[in-house]
Structure 1
């Protein structure tokens, strides 16, 4: 079929635009997907949609210290409370469990309108401060699990689910870089607290430090959430034609060519039935488990290898910085070259870096240890924005909070495996066996990622979309 014939066929199956109230209209593409076009971001909320990147990014930085800086306080908290060392790793595992557990239910409540964005962020702020209060004042370890693990993890999960998904709704035409940027705050926002907990906080001042930190971070979450707004369902920016992607910006054209919009708005059960979402769930389980393992054990591994405490804190900080900045960079790369291809590359990097971390530590090479830590941080952080953007690409934006909640729920298992079970593996096989196992899992996951495909988009769809995008 010629280009003109394909264009005519496309036009024949597209419903004509119908005027709608409030200056918008709805158009339908050849797959039956509806787009709401005509309204600008400033008309909807009185300011640029860039604020829906900045505010979620700020809130994500605020909740990051609970995961990335927590193990830096291991020695102080264990001594101050008299906890057995393994409790620290299981506390982190429980926190991660509940942070992931709320993703799907929060997504459903958000999409149904029961839980507005401001309410979700306010609840997240409450959970944040309760988590730090538990670490500071819990009289026994059970209350620490309840306060930090349950309330802190649940609060962070509400913030994470809200922030990651709102970005894709405001940037449906080029979500990779924006999602990665916001997601990156969840890592490098912890850097000041890694040094604070490792180098300054001790048994004489820990309760005061944790109280001040908790109040400050909770306020940051609450203030950010107060100014966040959801777009209408099916909203699409008016300067990009959703039927032909005839935007003047070549970045948008390239992004839509490499990562075309989902063929329909899948409900969670429809997404599960495609078989692709369960495969994404398992791939994230493996890669997130490796990431959590590195967060939990890089500090104690560095200590055991004889590196000074300040050096270990520096290595962990570099890991967090690269983990965060890498999320934004990898989102931009995936816009240019495709999500699946980028994910395969990231899984390979994540796996190989685990071998490098162990090798560099075992030979006592500090420069190599720092480099391997940064590469590991890059791979561990990049997976999250990739899966977040890929979920919207494959299943649509309207139900993305629920669909990504299902994918992200794999962290329920990966947190416990990477942190708690990781401690068991280290005890049984030593750090060598544990890091080699983690690296091998990363390489295997890269192979599984080659099987990911956008549901419902056959070769005819791809050919037709390519013509439209190049027109």
Structure 2
């Protein structure tokens, strides 16, 4: 079944067809990406979000390396610096849902969301450098800067998923990876060239850098029409028997591993299906373990007697592998299936927490870096998998809101991964904290095993 039409608002006199499958889902085909983007390839909607994500990654992934200098310069306690990061995580994650709601109702364009996010992120870094009172820093960097980074993050992730509905695993993973390894240069800056004599200038400079990069990327952002599907891929042939060769045939085979959602679920329908709440709980637990590792790995390395090079290198390793791992598992999830890959990643994250603790007890620097490698891999790779799994289960039309709900689990995990993690370390020491983190991750893997695509009828081979 199909029907033809023209969309004068989003395209320029471009003919399209709306194909309806047996489940009632609509696919809009006929418009090429170059027609919609002004003779530009949709690959641009991978590279630009990737660059913007690298720019904002310094806010989270390099913060742990800067907290020592910040504490000394401002007179903050360790608990103060961890609560600043916790509020940042809370606001960064909590922004995804309201931003998605505004975007899907046409009240906030992707370009405007990026511009606003860039300005707020700049203000956050200025506040971190110039506000001595911890509550002012929490408001400036944690609240204002967190909202800014959240706007950029949510917009970038949803953008790439809309433009690549048939291969979103690898593309989403690639973009999401920039949010981790983009911080690598700043991790070493904060460990070697960041002290009480220059910290204000460095933070101001970083804020200006983020503003320029994100705003430049935002200028080209544009969403595809609702229900858009690439014309070269037949959406009705997803059972492993592609209708043609070449790229479209490969895409059909990959779609058989991760078939598209049976229909477009509204946020209320996604919640009532039971799968979105289960995904939310899994994000809460897994992200909490990831944030714990980011917040405490450098301090734990120094606590057991490793020098600043090992401490910085362990965080650098975590950052790089965290980002590269996101791209790798996104690609693997297209081949293995999203859920299977997600369970594997969360189990690796849990085992890595036990390994980091073991390596610290042995005072083995190389073993410590190895398990930091695994922790970084697991601690970042689950994010793009949830980002791709959400439209796989609930469709693309309401993905900004649906993924905003799923990702909002991070705002809860930010509290026990950072601030409450600090309390656990104070009460139980690093041994108890790392054992608890590993156990929580394994519980999350068990929850993830219960996920299944809502409404999908079982297919016979």
State the Cα deviation string for residues 184-241 of structure 1 (Å, max 9, x = none).
Answer: 0000000000000111110101001111111011111111111111101100001001
Structure 1 residue 247: Cα displacement: 4.7
Aligned partners of 1:356 and 1:372 also within 8 Å: yes
Whole-angstrom distance in 2 between the partners of 1:334 and 1:241:
21
Equivalent residue, structure 1, for 2:60:
67
Equivalent residue, structure 2, for 1:18:
4
Equivalent residue, structure 1, for 2:10:
none
CA-based RMSD of the aligned residues comes to: 1.0
Structure 1 residue 458: Cα displacement: 1.9
Is residue 334 of structure 1 aligned with residue 326 of structure 2? no
Whole-angstrom distance in 2 between the partners of 1:16 and 1:124:
40
Equivalent residue, structure 2, for 1:123:
116
Equivalent residue, structure 2, for 1:255:
254
Q: Once structures 1 and 2 are overlaid, which stretch shifts more, 362-371 or 18-27? A: 18-27
Is residue 187 of structure 1 aligned with residue 180 of structure 2? yes
Equivalent residue, structure 2, for 1:424:
423
Is residue 112 of structure 1 aligned with residue 105 of structure 2? yes
Aligned partners of 1:18 and 1:27 also within 8 Å: no
Aligned ranges 1:11-410 → 2 under 5 Å: 15-20=1-6, 22-46=14-38, 47-245=40-238, 246-248=243-245, 249=247, 250-410=249-409
* TM-score, reference length from structure 1: 0.94
Whole-angstrom distance in 2 between the partners of 1:374 and 1:16:
50
Aligned partners of 2:233 and 2:252 also within 8 Å: no
Structure 1 residue 322: Cα displacement: 0.3
Aligned partners of 2:4 and 2:15 also within 8 Å: no
Whole-angstrom distance in 2 between the partners of 1:254 and 1:326:
23
Aligned partners of 1:176 and 1:385 also within 8 Å: yes
Aligned pairs, number: 448
Whole-angstrom distance in 2 between the partners of 1:251 and 1:70:
41
Structure 1 residues 88, 243: CA separation in 2 closer, same or farther (over 3 Å shift)? same
Structure 1 residue 112: Cα displacement: 1.1
Structure 2 residues without counterparts, runs of 5 or longer: 8-13
Structure 1 residue 85: Cα displacement: 1.7
Whole-angstrom distance in 2 between the partners of 1:167 and 1:272:
23
SS for the counterpart of 1:24 is: strand
State the Cα deviation string for residues 140-191 of structure 1 (Å, max 9, x = none).
Answer: 1111011100010000000011000110100001100000000000000000
Structure 1 residue 20: Cα displacement: 4.2
Whole-angstrom distance in 2 between the partners of 1:357 and 1:311:
13
Structure 1 residue 310: Cα displacement: 1.8
Is residue 415 of structure 1 aligned with residue 414 of structure 2? yes
Structure 1 residues without counterparts, runs of 5 or longer: 1-14, 467-471
Aligned partners of 1:299 and 1:313 also within 8 Å: yes
State the Cα deviation string for residues 342-364 of structure 1 (Å, max 9, x = none).
Answer: 11111110100000001101111
Equivalent residue, structure 2, for 1:469:
none
Structure 1 residue 273: Cα displacement: 0.1
Aligned partners of 1:20 and 1:26 also within 8 Å: no
Whole-angstrom distance in 1 between the partners of 2:63 and 2:257:
38
SS for the counterpart of 2:28 is: strand
